[in-house]
Amino acid sequence: ETLESDQAAVEVGLPNARCPSDHLPVAACFAPLPPQQLGLAAAAALGALVAGVEARQVAAWEALRVQMDAARTVAEAEAGVAVPGGRPPEPLVAHIRLRREAERTLRAEMREERQALVRGMSAGERDHADDLLMAEVGGALSWCEQAVR
């Protein structure tokens, strides 16, 4: 019976003598949709996109390492001989700080690129990316937070 078919409820409202509670039972039936499946071509394109981001980031990390190693050689030459067990000379300390900051910045850029990629995916693409990355890093969200090392 619907609320509208109860004349007392329509005239007086709830609660009333016939229905002393204003709590109405509500029922709903939900049918889950099947997961969105990607076609073979779309799955391959997504895998290539993820692999491309990964390859670009590995190359960027390696380029930073080469650049920072060369800068360390220069800093060590400027610093001269270090005292064993003492604080590193100032040029070397400055280089270490510079390297750490450059690595932090690059990691943040990589994280943002990965997050932008995942945010732009459809639900089906995210599901496929999760499947693709699950064994390696624990899924797409974990992949976003990881940085190349």
User: Tens of pLDDT along 101-140?
Assistant: 999 999 999 999 999 999 999 988 998 898 888 878 888 8
pLDDT lower than 50: segments of the chain? none
What's the pLDDT score for residue 107?
94
Q: How far does the chain reach from its first CA to its final CA, in angstroms?
A: 65
What's the pLDDT score for residue 98?
95
What's the pLDDT score for residue 141?
84
Helix (H) or strand (E) holding 126: helix 123-137
Half-sphere exposure of 36 (CA within 13 A, CB side): 12
Helix (H) or strand (E) holding 44: helix 40-79
**Contact criterion met (CB below 8 Å) for 123 and 36:** yes
What's the pLDDT score for residue 64?
96
